[in-house]
Chains A and B, each alone.
Chain A
Amino acid sequence: VNDHKPADWGDDQVASWRHLLDDEGLWVDPSPDGAEVLLTAIRRESTLDDARAGAGRTRGGRRWRVAVVAAAAVVFLAGVAGAFVLLRDSGDPPDEHHEFAAAGTDLAPDASAVAAVVERPAGIVIQLDVSGLPPATPGTYYQGWVRGSAGLVPLGTFHLRSSDTVYLWSGVDLDAYPRFVVTRQDEGGGPEQSDQVVLVGDVGL
């Protein structure tokens, strides 16, 4: 199989590394939504830092970032407050539920969402109250997903053209699928998750 490899490939040190190329782990691609997850964690930590440190931040070079993050936090908290009002006013969902937040990515920087997770006999309902995410353009749609150690599970599709509240159903236990993602999909693009991630969040059960 390897008879075509040049005999003079590099010096001894390099040649000693050659067998590593056969290792499957060397060729595994990182998660396509990993950058979004990282950005969400940085934003979240920046917001917490800002809340702790207030205006007296001592670390140079980060002040402008704090301002940006603080503005984002205001928008986010407003969204959370609005969602609480929505949930309380509508009385829906009436059952015991868990809530988590999702943040917009650079594809949808103004977007945010609050999700209420409710157990139902037929599955788990995720009521998603979305802010700042435009309706899907013709030929596209949004799709919810959860990801965990066992892989990726689709939750359902939506377009947001007449409502900002979406009900997604999960048939899997969210304890095992802690990462929540919404993508923009192209019609005819097949069932796979696209790389157009617009919202990310941690279920945090």
Chain B
Amino acid sequence: MTSPDDADLLARYAAGEEPAARAMYERYAGPILTVALAILGKRDLAEEVVQVTLLNAWRGAGSFDASRELAPWIYAIARRVAVDIYRREKRSDPPTDVEEGDLAVEPLSFERTWEVWSVRWALDRLPQDERDVIRLSHLVRMTHREIAEHLGVPLGTVKSRSARAYQRLATLLGHMGEAEQ
């Protein structure tokens, strides 16, 4: 069932309230963008997916079933929009023009993109200091010692932030798994 916070947010969004629109963008643009990038591989097309998805959610907010979770509903819209744009681009792209960064051969499966969405969603819920440690570790591939030097904090602080972050991610991802089912 939709949480009271989400239900209130969606109702205010449907009514066109600016703070609600900003909150929807802040909450969902990241996961939508990540899913769209996984499907389309192009930043400009992925940004288009973010806009179309949130606009479609606004248009369809009145028909949203409050007995469901909001995030999977937004996710389903995002995936549908991304696949539509994928097909549009495939139709317009001559097959000889395939280059690095172009569209994937086939869009990822529903389950796979849900995983991508879930991890991004969980990452965006982390406190900034914990998120920074995870980003430097995975994206920049720094060791804990390098992260400590980079951030100018003791090694023990990095280790504790890392441990808390992974624990928090495990909890959040567990909840997302429940929402999926």
Interface residues of A (CB under 8 A from B): 1-6, 9-11, 13-14, 16-17, 20-31, 34-35, 37-39, 41-43, 45-46, 59, 61-62, 64-65, 68-69, 106, 148-149
Contact = CB atoms under 8 A, between A and B. Distances in A.
B18 interface: yes
A168 B2 CA distance: 47
Contacts of A28: 33-34, 37, 43, 46
B131 to A, nearest CB: 9
Interface string B28-61: 0110111001100011101100110011001100
Given A1-B141, A34-B29, 17 more contacts: A5-B137, A9-B167, A10-B174, A13-B173, A13-B177, A17-B115, A20-B116, A22-B139, A23-B38, A25-B37, A26-B120, A28-B37, A35-B22, A38-B24, A41-B55, A59-B62, A106-B18
B90 interface: no
Interface of B: 11, 14-18, 21-22, 24-26, 29-30, 32-34, 37-38, 42-44, 46-47, 50-51, 54-55, 58-59, 62, 115-116, 118-120, 123, 134-135, 137-139, 141-144, 159, 162-163, 166-167, 169-170, 173-174, 177
A148 B42 CA distance: 12
A14 B29 contact: no
B14 A62 contact: yes
A38 B51 contact: yes
Contact of B54 (A9, A38, A45): A38
A30 B141 contact: no
B166 A10 contact: yes
Contacts of B137: 1-2, 4-5
A37 B167 CA distance: 36
B144 A17 contact: no
B15 A65 contact: yes
A26 B119 CA distance: 8
A4 B144 contact: yes
Given A38-B51, A39-B18, A65-B16, A5 B116 contact: no
Contacts of A9: 166-167, 169-170
Contacts of B167: 9
Given A5-B166, A38-B21, A59-B62, A21 B119 contact: yes
A10 B169 contact: yes
A41 B173 contact: no
A3 B59 CA distance: 47
Contacts of A65: 15-17
